Structure 1
């Protein structure tokens, strides 16, 4: 016989003689059951290892000079597109006319006819479409107002829109354009009357500086009067044919930045993992109704920068290193490996009658509304200094998976051995009792 190894005394797994082993039916059942249980638990451990969780992190937003996209879809069933104006302003209070945008005005049928779409036309934030003239030497009169800086021909007002722009530049009320040759040629008042009963939907997106600002929907041409931003409200309040314009509206959709793909939202949502709900927009499907013309709605929005980083993502270049002018509207914030730089937001709202008085109709008789203001829907947004980063990760490491499998095998076999021993001892004692 070979000499015993020095490790023999260290053997913790003592062996039994083959002849001393006893095989039982109950032992076989316990063995098969334990093996099936090990396979089932090991599969669960593997599925848990493959599971993806999202870890939210909070940090200071150190971005500088970035842009932000605002995507909207808002319906106004009681005000026509001809009267509705969209203005974008930043913290300086100046109207932003050079922002990149892809906004459309959609004319809607009257509410009595179902409110379906009639036609869609691109919205111009800075200038209106120019009418074509047969005479290239034509120079229209501005009727005492200086020619606007964005006129087709310097020193002239060749379109009704340019006359309106010229009037707005000197804070004059324009009205229906009676006696203005350009407006009569373009049938401005006729178009206005034809659309009196219609509604309007504003849909699309704008790209603005990532600073405190606001965008608002108000009636009439806007202009600055001293330090005040005002609108020409004459046509809005005039109405006509028994039509009363109001700012009843419905926010179908409003978000800041790109939306997470449906695939990501569905994949993570189905697995029931705790993560940021920034794919939810709190103003979606918000509806407000009023019968007053002079009524103002204000939404105060707090915007929080939010990043979504998929599994295995490593930053090579920032999505903001590329000049924003080279990125088409809707793609700003989408990075490599399906990473996304977007925003989530919270909102509070306020509404008031511009005629003043108390708020007893809203159930607050102790509250007094200020008198004056511009009727419309205003969205004022503020930028949070904090940023939320949602990072995908495995629920556990591979070493953790191996530890779990070892624990499953060892624990199951230990329990199975105890069960088998109990069954064997119990069976032996029963036999002795019956034999006696």
Structure 2
């Protein structure tokens, strides 16, 4: 093919220099286009060189044989460890108490002083059931009364492996311990001449008058999975950092949780099966005469929808494609803008 024929297929025809007119407003439009292109280039480069981009997809949960891993860390600043009990149950009829769940060191309780400092570390062992308070061993009764008078609190932490069905777990005071605590509190109030007993427990102002057995609590962590907050910041536990202080009347706190199975896929292909959840809170006064004792409930149910969160990173070809799109877009926009300005200036000067 001769060079003369090759020029006939060129898409970029060049006009003679004497036919080209350069204007001041054309230069302004050109500078605007250059600045716009640089800004878009910078934005695309920053987006490309991020560690990863997170994509989310939803689907139907098809997992059937997995268990539900629950990690928790809660403190009760106005209740001693001797009185607290952790129990769990689900719709399949499986019940779990302190004895069945506190094996292999999964559950622990730590006694807290009035100022929030730790007194001792103990395994979370369920109170032995002797019926009502008068039938308990004297040493156990005295230890509970002494802990209550010293304004001891309790830190309950550990993890559980539950059935993957709807159920609940709750921290409560058993009936016999409830009666003992009420008697101890009445004795303290009588000794002070029935004056209001206000004190600071673990840095929180705790008014005791009319409160009864105080189930004020602070949820440091409540997670349904093995994910770590520093490694998976996109997975948020709504209850982390929640604290509720009883100021008027003791009651029952209920947190209704909807658990969403989540699969987290990292860049290297490593998959983590975990869970996210949403929460709705409800509280009501306790009625001991109706066997409704002060307690904190976590009522959970499984969602049929699963979420897949995947870390992705764009290729260099994607970046080059975006750069080309920026060049073409800026060139087209500035060309139309230049024509519009030229027409406007020409019409004004006529």
Same fold (TM over 0.5): yes
Instruction: Give the match for residue 297 of structure 1.
Output: 253
How far apart, CA to CA, are the structure 2 residues paired with 1:45 and 1:246? 59
For residues 45-86 of structure 1, the C-alpha deviation after alignment (integer angstroms, 9 at most, x for no partner) is 333444554332222222233233323333333322222222
Q: Secondary structure at the match of 2:188?
A: coil
Q: What pairs up with 1:255-404 in 2 under 5 angstroms?
A: 255-262=223-230, 264-265=232-233, 278-282=235-239, 284-289=241-246, 292=249, 295-310=251-266, 312-314=267-269, 339=272, 341-354=274-287, 371-394=290-313, 401-404=319-322
Q: Secondary structure at the match of 2:12?
A: coil
Q: Return closer, same or farther for 1:233/1:287 CA change in 2, 3 Å cut-off.
A: closer
Number of matched pairs: 319
Q: Name stretches of at least 5 consecutive residues in structure 2 with no aligned partner.
A: 190-207
Kindly state the Cα deviation for residue 411 of structure 1 after the two structures are TM-superposed. 3.8
Q: Secondary structure at the match of 1:191?
A: helix
How far apart, CA to CA, are the structure 2 residues paired with 1:291 and 1:421? 74
Q: Does structure 1 residue 108 correspond to structure 2 residue 108?
A: no
Q: Secondary structure at the match of 1:82?
A: helix
How far apart, CA to CA, are the structure 1 residues paired with 2:225 and 2:343? 70
Q: Does structure 1 residue 213 correspond to structure 2 residue 164?
A: no
Kindly state the Cα deviation for residue 305 of structure 1 after the two structures are TM-superposed. 1.7
Larger Rg: 1
- Whether the aligned pair in 2 keeps the contact of 1:77 and 1:249 (CA below 8 Å) is yes
Q: Return closer, same or farther for 1:7/1:76 CA change in 2, 3 Å cut-off.
A: same
Instruction: Give the match for residue 133 of structure 1.
Output: none
Out of 321, 327, 334, the position equivalent to 1:409 is: 327
Q: TM-score, normalised by structure 2?
A: 0.71
Instruction: Give the match for residue 146 of structure 2.
Output: 194
Kindly state the Cα deviation for residue 42 of structure 1 after the two structures are TM-superposed. 2.2
Kindly state the Cα deviation for residue 388 of structure 1 after the two structures are TM-superposed. 1.8
Q: Secondary structure at the match of 1:305?
A: strand
Moved more, 80-89 or 24-33: 24-33
For residues 354-407 of structure 1, the C-alpha deviation after alignment (integer angstroms, 9 at most, x for no partner) is 157xxxxxxxxxxxxxx333332222222223222222335x775554443223
Higher share of residues assigned helix: 2
Q: Secondary structure at the match of 2:81?
A: coil
How far apart, CA to CA, are the structure 2 residues paired with 1:375 and 1:427? 81
Instruction: Give the match for residue 204 of structure 1.
Output: 157
Kindly state the Cα deviation for residue 119 of structure 1 after the two structures are TM-superposed. 0.9
Q: TM-score, normalised by structure 1?
A: 0.59
Q: Return closer, same or farther for 1:57/1:191 CA change in 2, 3 Å cut-off.
A: same
How far apart, CA to CA, are the structure 2 residues paired with 1:298 and 1:423? 67
- Whether the aligned pair in 2 keeps the contact of 1:176 and 1:188 (CA below 8 Å) is no
Q: Return closer, same or farther for 1:23/1:73 CA change in 2, 3 Å cut-off.
A: same
Q: Return closer, same or farther for 1:33/1:375 CA change in 2, 3 Å cut-off.
A: closer
- Whether the aligned pair in 1 keeps the contact of 2:253 and 2:297 (CA below 8 Å) is yes
For residues 151-179 of structure 1, the C-alpha deviation after alignment (integer angstroms, 9 at most, x for no partner) is xxxxxxxxxxxxx73xx3xx6335364xx
- Whether the aligned pair in 1 keeps the contact of 2:262 and 2:276 (CA below 8 Å) is yes
Q: Return closer, same or farther for 1:236/1:429 CA change in 2, 3 Å cut-off.
A: closer
Please provide the CA RMSD for this pair.
4.0
